[in-house]
Amino acid sequence: DAGITQSPRHKVTETGTPVTLRCHQTENHRYMYWYRQDPGHGLRLIHYSYGVKDTDKGEVSDGYSVSRSKTEDFLLTLESATSSQTSVYFCAISVPSGMGDTQYFGPGTRLTVL
């Protein structure tokens, strides 16, 4: 158990509404990530954070913003949700290991945008 929780676990929203997903970790790891997973695409990186208030874009960052005001929390915001953002969202942390860092995932948030 990597001590990662995500909230909400499921959400249905309407196009054009703002949505914020929360990732919380209990072990003060520096790096945190947001991925989305869609059929036919595998997991794709949206944004990541390398410290409080330090974030950077990933492969599919358009339409998303993130914030990290505390080490333990990493928020993903959809400013104006679109149907193309219907997906499963996973948060991850990096844990140092002998082969570089290993990533561990939260349980995911299933988001449906109608």
Q: How far is the CB of 80 from other proteins (least distance, A)?
A: 25
For residue 93, the tally of other CB atoms under 10 A from its CB is 25
Answer yes or no whether residue 18 interacts with other proteins by CB under 8 A.
no
Answer yes or no whether residue 100 interacts with other proteins by CB under 8 A.
yes
Q: How far is the CB of 105 from other proteins (least distance, A)?
A: 4
Cβ 65 vs Cβ 77: under 8 Å: yes
For residue 81, the tally of other CB atoms under 10 A from its CB is 22
Judged by CB under 8 A, the residue of 14, 27, 59, 79 near other proteins is: 59
Single out the segment in contact with other proteins by CB under 8 A; choices: 20-28, 41-49, 62-70, 74-82: 41-49
Kindly state the number of chain residues that form the binding site for other proteins, as judged by CB under 8 A. 29
The whole-angstrom separation of Cα 53 and Cα 76 is 13
φ, ψ for residue 33 (rounded to 5)?
Answer: -140, 150
Judged by CB under 8 A, the residue of 17, 27, 50, 80 near other proteins is: 50
For residue 82, give the H/E element and its range: none
Residue 41 CB-density burial (10 A; 0-12 exposed, 13-18 middle, 19+ buried)? exposed
Binding region for other proteins (CB under 8 A) = 30-31, 33, 40-45, 48, 50, 56, 58-59, 90, 94, 96-97, 99-108, 110
